[in-house]
Structure 1
Amino acid sequence: PVKLDFIQNEAIEGSQLASRGNDTVTVVFPQPLTAGQTLQLKFTYAGAVMSDAGGGLLYVGARGTWFPNRGPAMSNFDLEFRYPPEWKLLATGKKISESTRDGMQEIRFVSERPVPLAGFNLGRYVETPVQTAATRLEVYSARAMEADFTRSQIPPPRSPAIARPEQRRPTPPLSAPLPPLQANPDPSANAHKVGRNAAEMIEFLTPRIGPFPFSSLSLTQLPGPNSQGWPGLVFLSSYVFLDKSERERSRFSTNEMNDWVFDHVMTEHEVAHQWWGNHVFWDSYRDQWIMEALANYSALLKLEQDDPELFYRILEQYRDDLLDAPEGANTRPFREAGPVRLGGRLNSSRFTGAYDPVIYGRGTWLIHMLRELLKDTAASARQRPRPGAAAPPPRDPDALFYSVLRGIQTRYAGKKVSTRDLLTAFERALPPTAAFENRKSLDWFYDGWINGNAIPALKLENVRITPSGARTVASGVIVQADAPDLLVTSVPIYAAGSGKEPPVLIGRVFADGERTEFRLAAPAGTKRILLDPFRAVLRQP
């Protein structure tokens, strides 16, 4: 072995240290490297990446920089750990061996296939196995919450979060003070419920997008409000293990959206990351939105099956967050921070915290719009049920959408996916009725929606319903305001009669610019023409 010189960045402190770690090392080679040359580097290093959070919990900091790497990359990992016997350690990969030596436990994990990240969690956990059809699922939770559970407000997140609950809105004043918390809640009491939520998410996604990518899944409690989903290992927020009343008594700055996220989205989102982000991965920071959006929308798809109205309420909250402005002097709404393609660059001094509303909010809406486009154009003349209607459609209206997602999982297993790859997959499935300017292309969607930040205001003008022989013709103008001149939007148009029958989709119209005329065949007895009544397009209320 040849000893090499290296340069490490100066030590950093405080919040930067917690979120980034001492994360830059430059290795100096004795001579220039050549293209295609293979090298093996051995790093010897040390440092604290865990801090005691109390309650038998440790906070795992620097989760992305605890081992030398050049960013997430599909790799094989072989991990060995030594730790005290009264603790439990979980890691990415398959457990190969476990033993005790010199009063310490030793454990080894090896990845089953190339994965983008490797990590571990350690705590005084209670193990709760949960029965699933094909995947070994275990929940690891403590018998107490972290020490700062009863502080007036939980500390700000110390690392990038996945599906982080919204904390910008102030908590409404309580009509009466809450009584003091009598005892520290026991998260392990709800471990089986949390595990069942994860198991149901696996059972929901498996027949739709493909088998669970790993042989097992460990859900491990992580102090604080944030969660992350790594290959076969989920760092799951302590607050997911509590019910609403327990969270309120923690003095956590809670609101309705937080409760929705903790109770219905966060666990499912992290489970979905096993497919989106771990089985397939994003190509560059400009494509990171894909994995967050697909994981988040997958969680919402499960929610839509259980509670359709809440599904739409969360989508509307995401829209409202984009139209809101950050706290402070800046009065510009979050949507103006930029398109989803900016990734981590969305956060700036002018738009503090813009990453979440744009990546999770707008990104989720983009996937929703693609889904609705396939659903509508594949059955353009077929009546759709109202959201939450008891009677199912005669065939799965999302069959085409799920076939695209399955195709991505198959084609890019263990590989990286770019935004162009995503759109190509959807373009292959586009029916002829979805062609813009007679081209089977989603360039208009990329230019205006993925690479743009518009949320247009849409309305109908000059609507006429005219009997024409044996048929009825609906005509009018779609007005698209508060949007760039070149924005193209595929707008679903519905016809409604005078009775209680649900509206009928009569076609989609590409709104190209400020005013777009349309002329569509409508059913006999049509009394009203409706623009996007089922919230298929991200638009202003």
Structure 2
Amino acid sequence: MDPRRPPALAAVALLVAAALTGCTGDERGTGARAEPGAAGVGDPYFPKLGNGGYDVRHYALTLSYEPGTNRLTGTADITARATQPLSAFNLDLTGLTVHSATVAGAPATVRRSGGELTLRPAEDIADGATFRTVVRYSGAPATITDAEGAREGWLRTADGGVALGEPTGSTAWFPGNHHPSDKATYEVAVTVPHGHRAVSNGELTEHRTAGGRDTFVWRSAEPMASYLATIAVGRYETKSSRTPSGLPVHTAARGEATLLDRIPELLAWTTGKFGPYPFSSTGAIVDTTVDVGYALETQSRPFFDKNTFEPSTLVHELAHQWYGNSVSPKSWRDMWLNESFATYAEWLYAEEFDDKPVQESFDEVFADDENWAFPPAAPPTPEDLSGPPVYGRGAMVLHKVRQAVGDDAFSGILRGWAAKHRHANASTRDFTTYVEDVSGEDLTDLWDVWLYGDDRPTDPSA
């Protein structure tokens, strides 16, 4: 207590401080001392990605993009819950200029070091308190060349651009907690010149025109990892329809994209295999005028370039909506869980639509030396996260599980795994434990050889 203040005024000051920080005087006296949140969550491949001390609940992003100059102007309104008493916390952001930041409505001190923003609020934030952070920023969003040599972040196109985020590219267009372990809901409002379209995840909730510019507002009500968030700006042909079951379908295309017509059919097929579709809309973004070098499972609206928009890849990215998007990895070491299921979906599709047995796909992958460069659950470097073993050998692991437990139990595992961790995160240990629990089988030898082993077995049937 300040000895110069009357007791009543001191009590009022204490209550005001408690209101600002979400804690009471007793909690201040007995709780832990406020400290800065960690600059990174300690991911084995990207230790500085993500941030400690808080959990984001919602991103409200208000963006304006000018294709001719590649200038992005943005306001990120972030609602989060503190998981410790915070005196400061970090946000991930690559490039772009930060103009101001507030926390709980009051100006915050901003310090920048590389891809880390450190915000120090005017008042400490109590453990468990919900708080809002507003960051205003602008600049030319960067294209990031990742460890594997692939381009991500913001990729310019002939008449716009597209944001692709795996694994770190989402840091190029909005500040946040950019690790897949921190999922949140999103609302993204994008203003672009009239004649352009802005497409994002989820549902289009508003489209308005004023002053020669169009604003598109997209809402994702289900939790989403930041690397799965996207916006695509361009002179797209957009369509909205519904599947026979009533699910909204939103598509955007530049160039030939008749395969989009098969989305309802293929979604019905994947739903039959993997269980109820986990999101409130579906669709795709297709730009056959650009060569990105890959497709990406951006949530509810996967992206395809000129070389990837074909049936098996469409099946792969649709399967990711269950495996990778709804059930997201706890760390990037668990990425094989995303890709093994999506690759196995391709094998199932080939069996039912192209008369190619799953065993034949397995045998081809088994014979390919590239799939034995490292165990799928332990890529040695970040450069290996999208290596062949993560996809092909990962799918082999699932096929060996199928052979070990039988077709009926395996079908239950496909659906049950997606249901158990719906809209959550899961690790490799979670998966192996789940499979053994529901099957009643001890699969230690299977994991040792196929998931973690260094050498190719001499007998593929072992």
Normalised by the size of structure 1, how large is the TM-score? Answer: 0.56
The alignment of Structure 1 onto Structure 2 pairs a total of residues equal to: 334
Q: Alignment partner for residue 203 of structure 1, among 268, 275, 296?
A: 268
Please state if 1:75 is matched with 2:184.
yes
Secondary structure at the counterpart of residue 112 of structure 1: strand
Measured against aligned partners, the alpha-carbon deviations of 1:258-292 in whole angstroms (never above 9, x if no partner) come to xxxxx342111111111112222111122121012
**Residues 24 and 453 from structure 1, CA distance in 2 versus in 1: closer, same or farther, beyond 3 angstroms?**
farther
Map of 1:193 onto structure 2: 259
Give the whole-Å Cα distance in 2 for the aligned partners of 1:57 and 1:101. Answer: 20
Measured against aligned partners, the alpha-carbon deviations of 1:90-130 in whole angstroms (never above 9, x if no partner) come to 11122211111122111212212222232211221123567
Work out whether residues 80 and 108 of structure 1, in 8 Å CA contact, stay in contact via their aligned partners in 2.
Answer: yes
**Residues 8 and 425 from structure 1, CA distance in 2 versus in 1: closer, same or farther, beyond 3 angstroms?**
same
Map of 1:441 onto structure 2: 442
Q: Partner letter of residue 174 of structure 2?
A: F
Give the whole-Å Cα distance in 1 for the aligned partners of 2:419 and 2:432. Answer: 16
Give the whole-Å Cα distance in 2 for the aligned partners of 1:194 and 1:213. Answer: 20
C-alpha displacement at 1:7, in angstroms?
A: 3.6
Q: Partner letter of residue 302 of structure 1?
A: Y
Q: How does 1:336-415 map to 2 (within 5 A)?
A: 336=373, 338-343=374-379, 345-347=380-382, 355-375=386-406, 398-415=407-424
**Residues 291 and 427 from structure 1, CA distance in 2 versus in 1: closer, same or farther, beyond 3 angstroms?**
same
**Residues 114 and 51 from structure 1, CA distance in 2 versus in 1: closer, same or farther, beyond 3 angstroms?**
closer
Map of 2:201 onto structure 1: 92
Map of 1:216 onto structure 2: 281
Give the whole-Å Cα distance in 1 for the aligned partners of 2:241 and 2:337. Answer: 30
Map of 1:238 onto structure 2: 306
Q: Partner letter of residue 452 of structure 2?
A: N
Please state if 1:450 is matched with 2:442.
no
Q: How does 1:117-156 map to 2 (within 5 A)?
A: 117=226, 118-128=229-239, 132-134=243-245, 135-142=247-254
Structure 2 segments unaligned to the other structure (5+ residues)? 1-104, 142-153
Work out whether residues 98 and 106 of structure 1, in 8 Å CA contact, stay in contact via their aligned partners in 2.
Answer: yes
C-alpha displacement at 1:419, in angstroms?
A: 1.3
**Residues 274 and 113 from structure 1, CA distance in 2 versus in 1: closer, same or farther, beyond 3 angstroms?**
same
**Residues 47 and 218 from structure 1, CA distance in 2 versus in 1: closer, same or farther, beyond 3 angstroms?**
farther
Work out whether residues 339 and 452 of structure 1, in 8 Å CA contact, stay in contact via their aligned partners in 2.
Answer: yes
Q: Partner letter of residue 192 of structure 1?
A: T
Give the whole-Å Cα distance in 1 for the aligned partners of 2:385 and 2:249. Answer: 34
Give the whole-Å Cα distance in 1 for the aligned partners of 2:438 and 2:175. Answer: 41
Map of 1:228 onto structure 2: 296
Work out whether residues 206 and 212 of structure 1, in 8 Å CA contact, stay in contact via their aligned partners in 2.
Answer: yes
C-alpha displacement at 1:416, in angstroms?
A: 0.9
**Residues 446 and 412 from structure 1, CA distance in 2 versus in 1: closer, same or farther, beyond 3 angstroms?**
same
Give the whole-Å Cα distance in 1 for the aligned partners of 2:241 and 2:307. Answer: 20
Give the whole-Å Cα distance in 2 for the aligned partners of 1:123 and 1:59. Answer: 9
Secondary structure at the counterpart of residue 319 of structure 1: helix
C-alpha displacement at 1:399, in angstroms?
A: 2.6
Work out whether residues 202 and 280 of structure 2, in 8 Å CA contact, stay in contact via their aligned partners in 1.
Answer: no
Map of 2:220 onto structure 1: 111
Give the whole-Å Cα distance in 2 for the aligned partners of 1:48 and 1:454. Answer: 46
Give the whole-Å Cα distance in 1 for the aligned partners of 2:385 and 2:231. Answer: 29
C-alpha displacement at 1:358, in angstroms?
A: 1.6
Please state if 1:44 is matched with 2:136.
yes
Work out whether residues 335 and 385 of structure 2, in 8 Å CA contact, stay in contact via their aligned partners in 1.
Answer: no
Work out whether residues 130 and 192 of structure 1, in 8 Å CA contact, stay in contact via their aligned partners in 2.
Answer: no
Work out whether residues 110 and 119 of structure 2, in 8 Å CA contact, stay in contact via their aligned partners in 1.
Answer: yes
Secondary structure at the counterpart of residue 77 of structure 1: strand
Q: Partner letter of residue 401 of structure 1?
A: F
Map of 1:478 onto structure 2: none
Work out whether residues 274 and 414 of structure 2, in 8 Å CA contact, stay in contact via their aligned partners in 1.
Answer: yes
Give the whole-Å Cα distance in 1 for the aligned partners of 2:360 and 2:312. Answer: 13
Q: Partner letter of residue 342 of structure 1?
A: A
Map of 2:372 onto structure 1: 335
Work out whether residues 130 and 199 of structure 1, in 8 Å CA contact, stay in contact via their aligned partners in 2.
Answer: no
Q: Alignment partner for residue 314 of structure 2, among 242, 263, 267?
A: 267
C-alpha displacement at 1:37, in angstroms?
A: 4.9
Secondary structure at the counterpart of residue 228 of structure 1: coil
Secondary structure at the counterpart of residue 107 of structure 2: coil
Give the whole-Å Cα distance in 1 for the aligned partners of 2:419 and 2:443. Answer: 22
**Residues 108 and 132 from structure 1, CA distance in 2 versus in 1: closer, same or farther, beyond 3 angstroms?**
same
Give the whole-Å Cα distance in 1 for the aligned partners of 2:299 and 2:347. Answer: 21
Map of 1:423 onto structure 2: 432
Work out whether residues 127 and 138 of structure 1, in 8 Å CA contact, stay in contact via their aligned partners in 2.
Answer: yes
Give the whole-Å Cα distance in 2 for the aligned partners of 1:36 and 1:446. Answer: 39
**Residues 61 and 112 from structure 1, CA distance in 2 versus in 1: closer, same or farther, beyond 3 angstroms?**
closer
Give the whole-Å Cα distance in 2 for the aligned partners of 1:31 and 1:268. Answer: 49
**Residues 310 and 195 from structure 1, CA distance in 2 versus in 1: closer, same or farther, beyond 3 angstroms?**
farther
Give the whole-Å Cα distance in 1 for the aligned partners of 2:200 and 2:306. Answer: 18
**Residues 79 and 131 from structure 1, CA distance in 2 versus in 1: closer, same or farther, beyond 3 angstroms?**
closer
Structure 1 segments unaligned to the other structure (5+ residues)? 11-22, 143-186, 242-262, 325-333, 376-397, 432-439, 459-490, 492-531
Secondary structure at the counterpart of residue 377 of structure 2: helix
Measured against aligned partners, the alpha-carbon deviations of 1:170-213 in whole angstroms (never above 9, x if no partner) come to xxxxxxxxxxxxxxxxx32xx222431x3332111212321222
C-alpha displacement at 1:415, in angstroms?
A: 1.1
Work out whether residues 80 and 109 of structure 1, in 8 Å CA contact, stay in contact via their aligned partners in 2.
Answer: yes
Quick one: percent identity of the two aligned structures?
A: 23
**Residues 57 and 341 from structure 1, CA distance in 2 versus in 1: closer, same or farther, beyond 3 angstroms?**
same
C-alpha displacement at 1:335, in angstroms?
A: 2.7
Give the whole-Å Cα distance in 2 for the aligned partners of 1:107 and 1:355. Answer: 33
Secondary structure at the counterpart of residue 184 of structure 2: coil
Give the whole-Å Cα distance in 2 for the aligned partners of 1:76 and 1:139. Answer: 21
